Structures are given as C-alpha cells and as structure tokens.
Amino acid sequence: MKRHINLFIFVVFSALLVFALAACGGNDNSNTNKNSGGKTEDTPPVVVPEEAPVWWKESNAVFANIPYGTDPEQTLTITFEKPLNELANKDKFSSVVILSGGGFEADTAEVKKLIADAKQELTKQHFAVIEINFRSKKLSNMLADVHTAISFAMGTGGTANEKKYTKNFKIDTARQGILGYSVGGYLALQYVSSTPAPNIPIKLLMVDSAFCDVSSEEFYTAFPAEAEGSTFDAASELTAAKKAQAVYNRYFLAATLAGIAVDEGAEQSILNYYNNGGDALPPVIGDFLGDYKNANALSGVSIDPSSPVRDANIGYIICHGTYDTVFPVAPMRTLSGKLFNSGEQSFVEFLYSGHSLNGEYAPTGNDQESTDKAADLLGNLVTAKKLI
C-alpha cells in the first residue's frame, strides 16, 4: 500500500488531462392512419424505447467523453479497474474526482503520461476515477460544472434515460474524494465551501499547488528567497523577465476568473516595470485591484476563500511548494492557518519544490521527506474515512 500511495502522490502532483467533446441523443416517433372512410385520424404514437447513450457499453473499462451538459466542453471520463461487466458482483466503488490544473494551456505529453499513471494506481486500489472537463475559464461556470458533473457521475443528475445507465457505475455517493491541482485545487476548495453545500458529500480533499486570495497584493509580489540547503538560484529563477511573466500570469488568471476584461497592454507594462528595477506592486496591478472591488458582482461567485468552510467530516490535505513561483506559498500558509486547528498536520509544505512538487530544488533531486509526510497523511486519511 505504501508503494502505491507514494507513486500516487508523485503522479497526482502534475497538471491533469482535459478531454474533448461528444454528443448523444434519442428519438421518438409518431404517425397517422386513414380509416376506411378516407378520413385521416390520429393514432397513438408508436413508442420507441430510448436508445442507450452513445458512451454506454458495459464491456468498457473507460467511459470517455460523456456529455453531462449541453455545451460541447462539458464532458467527463470515468475509468474503472476492469471492464464494467467483469465487475458486476463488485460492491459500490469509492471514487476520486480529479480537477485538472494546467492553467489555460494544453497538457503536454509528459502530463498525459503522468495522469495515465495516476489513474492506473487509483484503479488498482479499486477506485473509480472521474475526470471533469469544464466549459469556459470563468469561475462561476467552472464551479457550476463541478457540481453538475459530479451529480451526473453519481447517478443523481442527467436525464431519466441517462440515470438508467449511470446507476450501473455503482459509485458510492458516501465515499468520495477530490484531488485538485493548481487551478483545480482552488476549485476543489470552492466546491466543499459552496453555499448551499454540495449534495454529494466529500470524505477526502487533497489540494496541491492551488492559488488563493487574489485580492491581496502579496499574491502578485511574493517570490521565494534562497535558503541554505536548496539549489534554488534567485539570480536565474527570478530574472526581470521571469518575474514579469509570473506576475502577468497571476493577473491574467485572476482577471479572467473574475470576469474582468484583461488589459491588452498589461504584459508589456509589467515587463517594463521589472526591467526598470521595480520590486513592489506594478502600477497596472494596482489599477486591477481597484477594479476587482466589483469582481464578485461581475462573476457571481467569490474568488477568494478568505473564510473557508471547515467540515469535520472531510479529511483535508493541502500541499504547496516553498519555491512555487507560479502561485506563491505565502497566501496558502495564511489560508491553512484559518482552515486548520492549531497543531493539525494537514498542511504539507514541500521544502525543496516549486509548482510541480517534484523536488526540483533539492540537492538530492527529490523532496522525499515531504513526499513521505504527505503519503503517510493520505494513507491514514484514506483508511480513517473508509475509502478502501
């Protein structure tokens, strides 16, 4: 189990795969007859049984590109250990929902391999793995899609005909975990803090390299400092160009999720600021934060979990790299302090890692101590919450 958990920890710390579209549908029929007097009279329509959705085949182990909404981007994929008809006598499955990261970019070949490895390890432990693809990048849409997709996969959402088939997945709605990476980690936090509460209870929440509190200047200005024992080199990792790109990416993400128009000149303006020796808040970000005061009204949902909901029924794990230059660790330290009780070991800081949590700044080439700590915590929570 420890070997599996360690590999599991390694692979889920990477950005995750987003899937393409598919469509399904059925039809009905009706007709008219003429009687012997030549009159045309209506007859009851011929009842045609609804066809199985195009994604359904009980001999599948992977049910890909299942549409859970009307938009082509609203698809999900469910993966099992074996073809479903070979698991007919299996009790209900625990499930893990994977909320992907990757920002606004396509996944690389490396990421695709990592997600494939993650699914393999999870299904070996008899989990059903659910991957969700979202509509647009606006947070209100993304968060709504998480709710809709999970309900669909659990057999509580979708059409009556679709429910006839999703119930055959036999996913236990009382034993579900969520793994969220980067933006997906933030969505996971938002999901469990939703009002009203999700109708599908969550037993385990693991959040890796997520962002939070984009209304804080610290979110845009915080960068790691060199520390003894780390190979992090600020001179090469934090050049003016790299800092400017990181700040612009943080701004672009926050503005897009909040529904605020992105300033077309912001990227160059931020670069000019750092090239001229700036080390505080770029003026264009200050202007954005002024506009941000109206962001909640524009987006329809808060994008700052400054007062996260703590549910005693959920086992939490939050992991973040000390040298994360994509989303700084400082705001997540603050959030974890609000979320967890004093002394509770639910926040794991990877002391030699950046955004990918792979120990890239460790002299030994790995962040093994942090990985082992997270693995032990995950294993204990999986057992405590009776997920396997």
Per-residue pLDDT of 196-214, as tens digits, reads: 677 777 888 888 888 888 8
Q: Specify the number of domains making up the chain.
A: 2
The pLDDT confidence band at residue 1, using thresholds 50, 70 and 90, is very low
44 confidence band (pLDDT: 50, 70, 90): low
What residues make up the domain containing 87?
2-16+53-214+312-384
Distances (CA, A) of 226 to 323, 334, 365: 9, 21, 17
Residue 306 lies in a domain: no
Has residue 4 got a pLDDT over 70?
Answer: no
With a cut of 50, say whether residue 8 has pLDDT above it: no
What is each CA distance from 217 to 167, 209, 212, 254, 286, in whole angstroms?
47, 19, 12, 12, 8
Residue type, 144: A
Asked if the structure places residue 32 within a domain, the reply is no
Judge whether residue 236 has pLDDT over 60. yes
Q: Looking at the structure, tell me whether residues 153 and 221 fall in a common domain.
A: no
Band (pLDDT 50/70/90 cuts) for residue 384 is confident
327 and 200 in a common domain: yes
Task: Judge if 70 and 147 occupy the same domain.
Answer: yes
**Alpha-carbon gap, residue 171 to 179, rounded angstroms:** 17
In a domain, 363, yes or no: yes
Burial of 382 (0-12, 13-18, 19+ CB in 10 A): buried
Question: What pLDDT does 7 receive?
Answer: 39
Backbone angles phi, psi at 321, to 5 degrees: -85, 135
The Cα 335–Cα 229 span in angstroms is 27
> Comparing 200 with 96, which gets the higher pLDDT?
96
User: Among the three residues 240, 271, 299, which one is the final residue of a domain in this structure?
Assistant: 299
100 falls within a domain: yes
Model-level pTM? 0.80
Q: Are residues 78 and 155 in the same domain?
A: yes
Which CATH number do you get for residue 143?
Answer: 3.40.50.1820
Say if residue 59 is in the same domain as residue 203: yes
Looking at the structure, do residues 98 and 159 belong to the same domain, yes or no? yes
The pLDDT tens digits of the residues spanning 250-303 come to 999 888 877 788 899 999 999 999 999 988 899 999 989 887 766 554 444 455
CA distance 149 to 76: 7
What are the start-end ranges of the H helices in the chain? 2-12, 109-124, 139-153, 160-166, 183-192, 217-221, 234-237, 240-258, 266-275, 283-292, 295-299, 329-339, 368-384
Tell whether 221 and 208 lie within a shared domain: no
Per-residue pLDDT at 383 exceeds 60? yes
Confidence of residue 342 (pLDDT cuts 50, 70, 90): low
* Statement: residue 32 has pLDDT above 90: no
Q: Which of residues 299, 323, 355 is at a domain's end?
A: 299
Does residue 340 lie within any of the structural domains? yes
Q: CA separation (Å) from 290 to 238, 245, 287, 295?
A: 27, 21, 5, 10
Q: Which two tokens stand for residue 341?
A: 């009780």
Segment among 74-78, 180-184, 217-221, 233-237 with least mean pLDDT:
180-184
Average pLDDT over the chain, rounded to an integer: 78
Q: Which of residues 278, 299, 320 is at a domain's end? A: 299
Output the pLDDT for position 128: 93
Q: How far apart are CA 86 and CA 82, in angstroms?
A: 7
Q: 130 and 66 share a domain?
A: yes
Q: Are 210 and 222 found together in one domain?
A: no
Give a yes or no: residue 139 inside a domain: yes
Lowest mean pLDDT among 21-35, 106-120, 261-275: 21-35
More confident residue, 344 or 129: 129
Same domain, 60 and 115: yes
Please indicate, yes or no, whether residues 362 and 294 belong to a single structural domain of this protein.
no
Examine residue 126 and state whether it is found in any structural domain, yes or no: yes
In a domain, 45, yes or no: no
My answer on whether 92 and 108 are in the same domain is: yes
Residue 148 has pLDDT above 60, yes or no: yes
